[in-house]
Amino acid sequence: MIRLMLAGALLFGSLELAAAQTTLRVGDQKGNSQAVMEAAGVLKDLPYKIEWKEFPAAAPLLEALSAGAIETGLVGDAPFTFAAASGAPVKAIAAIRQTREGLAILVPENSPIKSFGDLRGKKIATGRGSIGHQLILAALEKNSWTASDVQIAFLAPSDAKIAYTQGSVDAWSTWEPYVSQEEVLFKSRRIITSEGLTPGLSFQVARPDAIRDKRAELTDFIRRLTAARAWSLNNVDSYAATWGRLMNIPTAVPQNWLSRAKIRIAPIDDGVVADEQSTIDLYFRWGLIKQKLDAAEIVDRSFADAIAKAGL
């Protein structure tokens, strides 16, 4: 019955695309959107083709978007802000809301570090401009520390994992599914999460020319993704199984992640704009961006109707 409801919600938006087969090039991180859409069964009978491209983090995804290699993709609010401030051709067209437990600073199981306060003078790995970097800055502010109170090692996720495992850094500020992978498979501990510190937003972003030239495809894709996320809230086991199969990672990892994340798609509204402005302001205060952006100018609210109709 749920699948029939999803099909009905999506059908009306697909008819306008039936006349011509086009290709939408979509960037994804660790099987995120693709896995949930496959698990929910919303990728059937597409009137266009999706060309999926997998990325380990938001930074390379945004580089591909800027270069025109992809037209839309999923990124965190922090790297999106960094890209927009650099002049990249990118707009947020939908928001992804979730609990903030999956953005965390990790330490090994046997580490003597018990809290953020124990990190003074210690080395933390994260990606420059990433949501992990955002978490460190927010935690520094909350504790009235300066940038020199910790050492930040800017590393891509694969390199950060190696440094963390080998003990070259004391902690790793990272996001899902890396957090659950470390917790479940290697017994790492979260000493701080982003609860109460950062908005915890992610965005489906798109190039302005794709918004103009492939609006029908993007609208249909957002509608299907919204429906899939709504389905996943009550079908964590199915989603986790599909994700684990796609990523060749034990199902216990996505089960840990998804059971607490409660991921859903939200329209770009005043609340989202306000939260994005807080991220912009944080980056501006720390000098990571040189001009204070207006969040309202780097988002596109025109997909809100499609999200509302697909949310069931």
Where on the phi/psi map is residue 241: left (φ > 0), alpha (ψ -120 to 50), or beta? alpha
Task: Give the pLDDT of residue 291.
Answer: 87
2-98+200-310: CATH architecture: 3-Layer(aba) Sandwich (3.40)
Residue 310 has a pLDDT of 86
Hey, what are 104's tokens?
């965390």
Query: What would the two tokens of residue 185 be?
Result: 């498979």
Average pLDDT along the chain? 93
Query: Kind and range of the H or E element at 217?
Result: helix 215-232
d(C-alpha 129, C-alpha 206), whole Å: 19
For the chain, give every residue range classified as CATH 3.40.190.10: 2-98+200-310, 104-193
CA–CA gap between residue 13 and residue 15 (Å, rounded)? 6
Task: Report the pLDDT value the prediction gives residue 18, as an integer from 0 to 100.
Answer: 46
In the chain, where does DSSP find H-type helix? Answer: 2-14, 32-40, 58-67, 77-85, 131-142, 157-166, 178-186, 208-213, 215-232, 236-247, 252-261, 270-285, 304-310
Name the helix (H) or strand (E) containing 31.
none
String of DSSP letters for 148-181: GGSEEEE--HHHHHHHHHHTSSSEEEE-TTHHHH
Residues of the chain with confidence (pLDDT) below 50: 12, 15, 17-19
The second-level CATH assignment, the architecture, of 104-193 is: 3-Layer(aba) Sandwich (3.40)
Q: What is the pLDDT of residue 132?
A: 97
pTM: 0.89
pLDDT tens digits along 221-230: 999 999 999 9
CB 156 within 8 A of CB 57: yes
